[in-house]
Amino acid sequence: MAGFDPEKDKKLKEWRCEDTGLLVSINQYDKGEPKVQIGPRILKKKDGTDRAPAKAGRLSISDISFIYDIIDDIKDELENNLDPMG
């Protein structure tokens, strides 16, 4: 069995919470089922540039509100990316 191939890993859609830096994305590996990933978290430096990604960790009420607001978009995007033959 071959190992992980980053060339086969695709990010199909991404949402970013401007308040908390939390990223939510839909990813697909090779021809596998698209799946939702919560995290990482990209915080801002004092100069306004992005810091290195950090684990999402525990979610705040702001994070949950953000996910709640975009959950229908996430569901629709997942459904649109499903293989009808799959």
Residue 20 and residue 41: Cα distance in Å, rounded?
A: 7
pLDDT in tens, 9-58: 999 999 999 999 999 999 999 999 999 999 999 998 999 899 999 999 99
Angle at 85 between CA 68 and CA 26, to 5 degrees: 30
Q: How many domains does the chain have?
A: 1
Q: Is residue 60 part of a domain?
A: yes
CB 34 within 8 A of CB 81: yes
The answer to whether the pTM exceeds 0.75 is yes
Q: Could you tell me if residue 3 is inside a domain?
A: no
Whether 2 is in a domain gets the answer no
pLDDT digit string (tens) for 56-66? Answer: 999 999 999 99
The answer to whether 63 touches 20, Cβ cutoff 8 Å, is yes
The answer as to whether 14 is a domain residue is yes
> Which range of residues forms the domain containing residue 50?
8-80
Contact 69, 24 (CB under 8 A): no
Q: 54 in a domain, yes or no?
A: yes
d(CA 51, CA 40): 11
